[in-house]
Amino acid sequence: MKAVLQRVAGASVDLDGETIAAIGLGLVVLVCAEKSDDEAEADFFARKIAHMRLFADAERKTNRSLLDVKGEALAISQFTLAADWRKGNRPSFSDAADPATAERLYEHFCEKLAAEGVPVKKGRFRSHMRVNLVNDGPVTIWMDSADR
C-alpha cells in the first residue's frame, strides 16, 4: 500500500462541477492499494496516520496528531501512486490492485481511520475528480508499506 499525506488548512474534491466532500484543518490522504496488499496494510496505515505527529503545538513543534488537533481526513483513492516510470515514457500501473480489490481496501482503510476517531470524507472511487487544497507548511509525507 502507498499513501501520500498532505497537511492542509482546508481541502475539497469536486466531481462534475459539484463539491462532493470538503474538510477544514487536516490531511488529504491519497491512497493506493497494490496487488500484494491486504487488510493488514490498510489497518496499519489507518493507525499510523491517525497518530502521526504532523501538526504544530504551542511551541510550533510538530508534536500533535490529527486526533490531537481534532482534524479531518479527505481520503482519495489514487492508483497512479503504483506507477512504474523507469522504463519508456508511459508509466505502467501493473502493480496496482485490481479495481475490486482496490475499492475494498480503500473502503476498509477509510472505515479503520474513522474507527481511530478521525472524521473521514471521501472522494468517489474510479472517478475523475478535481482536488483542491491549501497545503499547510507545506508538509507532504510519502508512505510505502514495503518500507515498514
Domain edges within the chain: 2-147
In sequence order, the 6+-apart residues with CB closer than 8 A to the CB of 80 are 32, 91, 93
Active-site entry in 45, 55, 79, 109: 79
Residue 78 falls in the annotated catalytic set: yes
| pLDDT, tens digit only, all 148 positions of the chain | 999 999 999 999 999 999 999 999 999 999 999 999 999 999 999 999 999 999 999 999 999 999 999 999 999 999 999 999 999 999 999 999 999 999 999 999 999 999 999 999 999 999 999 999 999 999 999 999 988 7
Superfamily (CATH H level) for 2-147 = D-tyrosyl-tRNA(Tyr) deacylase (3.50.80.10)
What are the backbone angles phi and psi of residue 74, rounded to the nearest 5°? -110, 105
Q: Are 2 and 32 contacting, i.e. CB atoms less than 8 angstroms apart?
A: yes
Q: Which of 19, 80, 125, 140 is catalytic?
A: 80
The whole-model pTM stands at: 0.95
- Which is the catalytic residue, given 6, 45, 78, 109? 78
